[in-house]
Amino acid sequence: MTENPWKTKSITTAYENSWIRVEHHEVLTPSGKDGIYGKTHFKNKAIAILPLDEEGNTWLVGQYRYALDSYSWEVPMGGGPLELDTLASAQRELKEETGLSANRWTELQLIHTSNSVTDEVGYIFLAQELTEGKPEFEDTEDITIQKLPFKEALDWVMQGKITDSLSVIAIFRVARALGY
């Protein structure tokens, strides 16, 4: 079906900050009954980057995730403003979190992170032909950087040590491309 069966009657903002807006929608459901819907609007694109060097190494970043109340190992990632070029945002995030820059970029995947409650769109990139440099962390970041063989990062996913969805997708996409 290509036509939206939902009818929006009204939208109010329940909460808003620099990153998200939480909306309360009064709707008519596809069956025509009155209903409600909650939607989280993200003000940035989610952008994940899997750097891969000529020797088959990658870089992961570790940081404490406040919302999960736990430490998380991930591919380098962050947010890119909706109005800015996605690749430029990916290049900035890779440099910021790892110090790496890349001469070759491949967009691997477009994803919707949780499409039942949010409009967030994610982009996953493969970065190759790397040059190392110094990270430029944001004030909100306390990041540990780890360079490791890509196969080991894949093992971490399989062992449940990496649970972030963009990271898992990035690692699986590259693993398939490499024939793992």
Digit-coded pLDDT (tens) for 21-62: 999 999 999 999 999 999 999 999 999 999 999 999 999 999
Cβ contacts of 41 within 8 Å, gap of 6 or more: 20, 21, 22, 23, 118, 119
Given a cut of 70, whether residue 116 has pLDDT beyond it is: yes
Strands 44-51 and 121-131: parallel
Mean residue pLDDT across the chain: 96
Q: What percent of the chain has pLDDT over 90?
A: 93
Given a cut of 70, whether residue 75 has pLDDT beyond it is: yes
Mean pLDDT of 95-123: 96
pLDDT of residue 180: 87
Q: pTM of the full predicted structure?
A: 0.92
pLDDT of residue 137: 84
Mean pLDDT of 122-134: 97
pLDDT of residue 1: 61
pLDDT of residue 138: 81
The CATH T-level fold of domain 44-178 is Nucleoside Triphosphate Pyrophosphohydrolase (3.90.79)
User: In the chain, which residues fall in CATH 3.90.79.10?
Assistant: 44-178
In angstroms, how far is the first alpha carbon of the chain from the final one? 37
